[in-house]
């Protein structure tokens, strides 16, 4: 068994993979920091290969999967968490309220398969991925996973249970044709130093955002919106993640976490600081925070050093993987995406237009 040793630094647990977090911090500095300079040639190679791959699809030299129902892509141009999953959940609710029957597809990152696969109430996160399992539990709509998103999309489309498909991530997965593209940008971190991988966090250039239908700004920072330099001001949509209260991890029951109670907060997401800030906004005294890699597979041994009396606070995504061994004082924060009314109307109009076009 691999060692899960940790060392403490300034009240925070440092995991063996902390170096990855250090690189992410370098990415989001305003200027290129010295340790990243040697990687510049690799960034150039990454840019060339990505452009070459896109060109193959543009010239139709590589086959795309096209469906008879609308496909909506929710993705980003950066590596890491930007708020795609709560955005997808918010859009699903909009579509359900408008009378549509949406379904969700995902890569199933971290899942062992087999693929393609439907997510069910008995699916294990280890098989289908943590985010798809959470999406299934929270959305109440059909969810399918496969690294080749086209296979997952076909699986849902052929079931007859859905009339619209939303892809959680996949902006760069050009093998699946799409009707609407929505990019999500972290309003606090923006696009970092503006460099492509591995020198910076960008998968594609900021110009790629201009080709999407909308750019959701998670956090809605005005300086971030200006920095994107979009062609159409209305393309930028500020979004807020509204806290909806605390739930017990073991059974999902609502529970109040007393103000000022000293607690441990953990996060295995792309931007853990966003979650820690939300916790502190509730007036909760954090005795310690622990950062784990995104999609981290939690185990009971990760918490052997924590007293049963100490509350542990986490995200919904983390709670899915901790539920089977959660203690009574473990809670997760439920959040909900809040969109401007004008965007909701525009989005539903665009969906209606897609449906009409598909039915012609």
pLDDT (tens digit, 0 to 9) for every residue of the chain, 360 residues total? 233 334 443 344 444 345 556 788 889 888 889 889 999 999 999 999 999 999 998 888 888 999 999 999 999 999 877 889 999 999 999 999 999 999 999 999 888 889 999 999 999 988 999 889 989 999 999 999 999 999 999 999 999 999 999 999 989 999 999 999 999 999 888 898 989 999 999 999 989 999 999 999 998 666 677 778 788 888 999 998 888 889 999 998 888 776 556 889 999 887 888 888 888 887 788 888 999 888 888 999 999 999 888 899 999 989 988 999 999 899 999 989 999 999 999 999 999 999 999 988
Work out how many domains the chain is built from and give that number. 2
The answer to whether 310 and 287 are in contact (CB under 8 A) is yes
For position 259, what pLDDT does the model report?
Answer: 54
For position 88, what pLDDT does the model report?
Answer: 96
For position 318, what pLDDT does the model report?
Answer: 92
Diameter of the chain measured on Cα atoms: 62
In a domain, 64, yes or no: no
The answer to whether 194 and 33 are in contact (CB under 8 A) is no
Question: Which residues are annotated as part of the binding site for ATP?
Answer: 78-85
Residues 142 and 254 in one domain: no
Residues 188 and 256 in one domain: no
Distance from C-alpha of 143 to C-alpha of 108, rounded to nearest angstrom: 10
Residues 111 and 228 in one domain: yes
Q: Phi/psi of residue 158, each to 5°?
A: -75, -15
Distance from C-alpha of 182 to C-alpha of 73, rounded to nearest angstrom: 6
Residues 159 and 172 in one domain: yes
Residues 197 and 211 in one domain: yes
Which residues does residue 186 pair with via DSSP β-bridges, in sequence order?
218
In a domain, 331, yes or no: yes
Distance from C-alpha of 153 to C-alpha of 147, rounded to nearest angstrom: 11
The conformation of residue 207, written as its DSSP 8-state character, comes to G
Residues 331 and 348 in one domain: no
For position 162, what pLDDT does the model report?
Answer: 97
Q: Phi/psi of residue 148, each to 5°?
A: -90, 95
In a domain, 38, yes or no: no
* Burial (0-12, 13-18, 19+ Cβ within 10 Å), 69: buried
In a domain, 27, yes or no: no
Give residue for tokens 């968490």. 81
Residues 296 and 333 in one domain: yes
62 three-state secondary structure: coil
Residues 205 and 90 in one domain: yes
For position 286, what pLDDT does the model report?
Answer: 84
In a domain, 292, yes or no: yes
DSSP codes of every residue in 212-271: SSEEEEET--HHHHHHH--S-GGGEEEEEEEEEEEEETTT--B----TT-EEEEEE-SS-
Residues 252 and 263 in one domain: yes
What are 65's two structure tokens?
Answer: 């999967």
For position 221, what pLDDT does the model report?
Answer: 67
Residues 300 and 253 in one domain: yes
For position 18, what pLDDT does the model report?
Answer: 52
Structural domain for 333, as ranges: 241-337
| CATH classification of the domain holding 343 | 3.40.50.300
In a domain, 247, yes or no: yes
In a domain, 48, yes or no: no
Residues 203 and 257 in one domain: no
The answer to whether 337 and 241 are in contact (CB under 8 A) is yes
Residues 110 and 211 in one domain: yes
* Burial (0-12, 13-18, 19+ Cβ within 10 Å), 148: middle
Give residue for tokens 């996973």. 145
Distance from C-alpha of 269 to C-alpha of 290, rounded to nearest angstrom: 11
For position 223, what pLDDT does the model report?
Answer: 66
CB atoms within 10 A of CB 319: 25
What are 162's two structure tokens?
Answer: 């859905």
In a domain, 23, yes or no: no
């Amino acid at each position: 068994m691999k060692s899960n040793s940790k060392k403490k630094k300034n009240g925070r647990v440092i995991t063996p993979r902390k170096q990855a977090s250090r690189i992410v911090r370098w990415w989001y500095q305003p200027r290129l920091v010295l340790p990243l300079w040697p990687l510049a040639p690799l960034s150039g190679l990454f840019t060339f290969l990505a452009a070459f791959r896109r060109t193959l699809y543009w010239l139709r030299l590589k086959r795309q999967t096209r469906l008879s129902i609308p496909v909506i892509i929710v993705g980003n141009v950066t590596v890491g968490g930007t708020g795609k999953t709560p955005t997808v959940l918010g859009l699903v609710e909009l579509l359900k309220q408008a009378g549509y029957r949406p379904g969700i597809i995902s890569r199933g990152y971290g899942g062992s398969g087999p693929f393609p696969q439907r997510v069910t109430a008995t699916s294990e996160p280890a098989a289908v991925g943590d985010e798809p399992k959470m999406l299934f539990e929270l959305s109440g709509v059909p969810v399918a996973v496969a690294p080749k998103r086209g296979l997952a999309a076909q699986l849902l489309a052929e079931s007859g249970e859905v009339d619209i498909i939303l892809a959680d991530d996949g902006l760069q997965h050009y093998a699946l044709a799409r009707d609407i593209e929505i990019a999500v940008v972290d309003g606090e971190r923006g696009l970092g130093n503006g460099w492509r991988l591995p020198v910076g966090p960008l998968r594609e250039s900021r110009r790629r955002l201009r080709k999407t239908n909308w750019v959701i700004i998670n956090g809605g920072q005005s300086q971030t919106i200006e920095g994107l330099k979009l062609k159409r001001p209305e393309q930028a949509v500020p979004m807020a993640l509204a806290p909806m209260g605390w739930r017990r991890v073991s059974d999902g029951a609502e529970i109040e976490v007393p103000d000022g109670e000293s607690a441990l907060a953990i996060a295995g997401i792309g931007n853990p600081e966003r979650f820690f800030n939300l916790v502190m906004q509730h007036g909760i005294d954090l005795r310690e925070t622990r950062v784990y890699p995104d999609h981290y597979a939690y185990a009971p041994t990760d918490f052997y050093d924590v007293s049963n009396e100490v509350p542990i606070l986490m995200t919904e995504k983390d709670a899915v993987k901790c539920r089977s061994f959660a203690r009574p004082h473990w809670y997760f924060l439920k959040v909900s995406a809040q969109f401007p009314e004008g965007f909701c109307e525009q989005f539903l109009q665009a969906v209606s237009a897609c449906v009409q076009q598909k039915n012609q």
